[in-house]
């Protein structure tokens, strides 16, 4: 803390003074805050962000739309340091997705799926057997799909 107070007036860049004074610094899409002696992280969205993404009513395949929803949810889970911030970011993301034509049902279904896999990393889906034929003279090989 003493070092921070000593360095504050000598900082050459005005942006450094501002970020040190408010104890927050956006880096890429993460907002890092230092309220006391710890750090909090949250998703950073620029004030000029218009909130556009893939349109949910477009003719793109369903997997593209599910991936768009999943990207928002995973970003909330990986970037937010508390569950309150995760909840707040998921609510913000849900509104962005609804504004872009996604149905609330699809958003909730995908959110539930990702949250369940996030909270239970060992619960994997049953894999299928894949038979590989390498040639007429070699025996066939069976592998588990991963």
Spell out the domain ranges in the chain.
Answer: 13-144
118-138 pLDDT, tens digit per residue, is 988 776 566 667 777 676 665
68-113 pLDDT, tens digit per residue, is 999 999 999 999 999 999 999 999 999 999 999 999 999 999 999 9
pLDDT at 2: 46
Higher pLDDT, 113 or 8: 113
Q: How far apart are CA 3 and CA 23, in angstroms?
A: 14
DSSP codes of every residue in 68-100: HHHHHHHHHHHH-SSHHHHHHHHHHHHHHHHHT
């Amino acid at each position: 803390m003493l070092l921070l107070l000593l360095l504050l007036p000598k900082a050459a860049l005005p942006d450094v003074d501002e970020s040190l004074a408010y104890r927050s610094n956006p880096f890429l899409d993460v907002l890092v805050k230092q309220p006391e002696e710890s750090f909090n992280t949250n998703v950073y969205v620029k004030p000029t962000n218009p909130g556009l993404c893939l349109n949910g009513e477009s003719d793109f395949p369903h997997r593209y739309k599910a991936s768009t929803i999943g990207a928002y949810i995973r970003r909330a889970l990986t970037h937010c340091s508390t569950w309150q911030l995760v909840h707040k970011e998921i609510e913000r993301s849900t509104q962005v997705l609804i504004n872009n034509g996604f149905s609330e049902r699809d958003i909730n279904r995908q959110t539930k799926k990702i949250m369940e896999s996030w909270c239970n990393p060992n619960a994997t889906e049953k894999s299928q057997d894949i038979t590989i034929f390498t040639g007429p003279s070699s025996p066939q090989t069976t592998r588990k799909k991963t």
